[in-house]
Amino acid sequence: MKIIPNSCVKEEMLKVLGSSSINDLFDDIPSSIRINNLDIPSSKTQQEVEAHLRVIASKNKTYYDTPCFIGGGQPHYVPAVVKALLSRSEFYTAYTPYQSEASQGFLQAMFEYQSIITGLTGMDIANASLYDGATALGEAALMSYRINKRPVFLIPEGISYEKKSVLRNYTKGANITIAEVPYNEQRGTINIDALTSMMSSDVAGVYVENPNFFGVFEEDVEEIGRIAHDNKSLFIVGVDPFTLGLVKRPGEYGADIVVGEGRGLGSMMELGGCGLGLFACRYEYLRQMPGRIIGMSKDADGKRAFCMTMQTREQHIRRERATSNICTNEGLCALAAVIYLSWLGEEGLTDLGLINLERGHMLYDSIRSINGFERVFDGVHFNEFVMRYNGDAYKVNKKLIKHGFQGGLILEPFYPKLSRCLLFGVSEIQTDDQINGFLRVLKEVA
């Protein structure tokens, strides 16, 4: 957007406004709190700013400079084709166009995204994405409440502390009670007996992650679904999309709603990165789904055309029936997922899942063999797992950093029962040399 200078017409503008000076425009601000000037350095030229930023950037340690084995969401390799296509001017926006009929290419991309997500999850329909996995969970809780008109939403104790925070904030205004189901301290999975005892006519939905935050698969996930449905509650499943080439799709074991974090599907880390909220459900709940859905239709000439089929939003005609206050989606990230998964293919997703599974178990076995470390859960895990250290976990992590490695996530601040426990993770990004180097250093500093 070009800047139009107004200095040449300033006096004329002030005259129209009936003011004698620019300061008159700030009369509503009491003089006692006005700031005469800011204590900031004098301006720099563009060249000087660039040089200054390079100095600051040189202090950073990137993911590749300090190989990361922190659990709680490992990044995945992004091929060059993703960035190449995302950077095309036709796609370079994260926003869904309002004049959708003029954006057929982008709408088709979102239609393909929805088709891919339904295929991955085994569900009937998917929306054109949400902000991130935590947002998707919050929307699923609200959707359960709208469908069942019940005030309680059950979640596992063993899910991300960040998701819990977002979920509680999301549901606070709706007066939904979030209740946590304890985990089985031997397996790391949901305690089935505790879940059964917590079921009541007040429960709108039951949420389970497969695998969960501890990296453990819920082996009794079908039983959990049955318990939910016997209570006429919705069964909501959180997924890691990288496991869906290896395990049953949630639609195959009775899920009503499926949510997940799709950040790893083609999105760069970018200083923390942005999220991609996966959201799919059974067709019967279409009218209660948040966000928007892209459909395929025909134009006036009978040619194939794409349109925003469902968009019950607060800004549109049906705003009094809005299912969400989310008025856009992570369009660019959703497009990245389409490109990434198209590049990867069905067999590639399975192969990549196996690589992550095998590396996770190899790292698990290797750390467990180091003196001072012991397993915490004996459930089947994917590429992340929990280990207990018999010494000071904080000191171990500090020593690892000095040697150029990032250790596990310390869980005690968020899960007091997991004293001295660390959540480790690994993916296809770490090289064999990096993994071997990490294990060698960990053995030295433990």
Facing residues of 126 across strands? Answer: 280
* Domain extent for 236: 80-340
3-state secondary structure of 192: helix
Are 176 and 235 in a shared domain? Answer: yes
- Bigger pLDDT: 425 or 324? 425
Provide mean pLDDT across the span 409-418. 94
Structural domain contains residue 43: no
C-alpha torsion sign, points 426, 430, 433, 434? negative
Confidence (pLDDT) at 76: 93
Structural domain contains residue 56: no
- Please say if the pLDDT value at position 115 is more than 80: yes
3-state secondary structure of 63: coil
Q: What is the pTM of this model?
A: 0.86
Q: Which range has highest mean pLDDT (34-43, 160-169, 288-297)?
A: 160-169
Q: Which residue in 283, 305, 281 sits closest to 107, CA to CA?
A: 305
- Please say if the pLDDT value at position 9 is more than 90: no
Are 350 and 332 in a shared domain? Answer: no
Give the rounded percent of residues in the chain with a pLDDT score beyond 90.
67
- Please say if the pLDDT value at position 195 is more than 90: yes
Are 225 and 98 in a shared domain? Answer: yes
Confidence (pLDDT) at 101: 62
Region for 391 from its dihedrals, namely left if φ exceeds 0, alpha if ψ lies in -120 to 50, beta otherwise: beta
With beta carbons less than 8 A apart as the criterion, state whether 424 and 387 touch.
Answer: yes
Q: How far is CA 178 from CA 28, 82, 131, 156, 345, in A?
A: 45, 38, 21, 10, 38
Confidence (pLDDT) at 94: 53
Structural domain contains residue 62: no
Provide mean pLDDT across the span 418-426. 96
Q: How far is 259 from 261, CA to CA, in rounded Å?
A: 7
Structural domain contains residue 70: no
Lowest-pLDDT range, 70-79, 93-102, 334-343, 351-360? Answer: 93-102
Confidence (pLDDT) at 437: 96
With beta carbons less than 8 A apart as the criterion, state whether 109 and 336 touch.
Answer: no
Confidence (pLDDT) at 98: 58
Are 154 and 221 in a shared domain? Answer: yes
- Please say if the pLDDT value at position 327 is more than 70: no
Beta-carbon count within 10 A of 94 CB: 14
Confidence (pLDDT) at 4: 63
The DSSP symbol for 42 reads P
Lowest-pLDDT range, 4-18, 219-233, 282-296? Answer: 4-18
Give the rounded percent of residues in the chain with a pLDDT score beyond 70.
92
Q: What is the 3-state secondary structure (H, E, C) of 142-174?
A: HHHHHHHCCCEEEEECCCCHHHHHHHHHHHHCC
CATH number, domain with residue 175: 3.40.640.10
Provide mean pLDDT across the span 337-348. 95
Provide mean pLDDT across the span 262-283. 88
- Please say if the pLDDT value at position 1 is more than 50: no
Q: How far is 130 from 292, CA to CA, in rounded Å?
A: 9
Structural domain contains residue 406: yes
- Please say if the pLDDT value at position 392 is more than 90: yes
Lowest-pLDDT range, 155-159, 210-214, 301-305, 398-402? Answer: 301-305
- Residue 84: both structure tokens together: 């190449």
Give the mean pLDDT of the chain: 90
In the chain, the amino acid numbered 392 is D
Are 137 and 255 in a shared domain? Answer: yes
Lowest-pLDDT range, 34-38, 157-161, 411-415? Answer: 34-38
325-340 burial by CB neighbour count: b if 16+ within 10 A, else e?
ebebbbbbbbbbbbbb
Facing residues of 387 across strands? Answer: 375, 422
- Bigger pLDDT: 316 or 224? 224
Are 197 and 318 in a shared domain? Answer: yes
Provide mean pLDDT across the span 146-163. 95
Q: How far is 338 from 361, CA to CA, in rounded Å?
A: 29
- Please say if the pLDDT value at position 96 is more than 60: no
Give the pLDDT band (50/70/90) at residue 316.
low
Structural domain contains residue 87: yes
Confidence (pLDDT) at 317: 53
Q: Of 306, 340, 374, which one is at a domain's C-terminal end?
A: 340
C-alpha torsion sign, points 88, 89, 93, 96? negative
| pLDDT tens for each residue of 163-188 | 999 999 999 888 899 999 999 999 99
Q: How far is CA 53 from CA 59, 235, 269, 427, in A?
A: 10, 49, 20, 32
Query: How many independent structural domains does the chain possess?
Result: 2
Are 97 and 117 in a shared domain? Answer: yes
Give the pLDDT band (50/70/90) at residue 36.
confident
Structural domain contains residue 101: yes
Confidence (pLDDT) at 39: 86
In the chain, the amino acid numbered 422 is L
With beta carbons less than 8 A apart as the criterion, state whether 279 and 241 touch.
Answer: no
Are 238 and 360 in a shared domain? Answer: no
Confidence (pLDDT) at 255: 97
Residue-wise DSSP of 365-429: HHHHTSTTEEES--S-BSSEEEEEESS-HHHHHHHHHHTT-B-PEE-TTT-TTSTTEEEEE--SS
Give the pLDDT band (50/70/90) at residue 347.
very high
Are 232 and 156 in a shared domain? Answer: yes
CATH number, domain with residue 421: 3.90.1150.10
Confidence (pLDDT) at 349: 96
Structural domain contains residue 253: yes
Q: Of 340, 371, 390, which one is at a domain's C-terminal end?
A: 340
Are 116 and 154 in a shared domain? Answer: yes
Determine the number of helices (DSSP H) and then strands (DSSP E) in the chain: 11, 13
Are 285 and 410 in a shared domain? Answer: no
Q: Of 340, 374, 396, which one is at a domain's C-terminal end?
A: 340
Are 123 and 266 in a shared domain? Answer: yes
Provide mean pLDDT across the span 300-321. 72
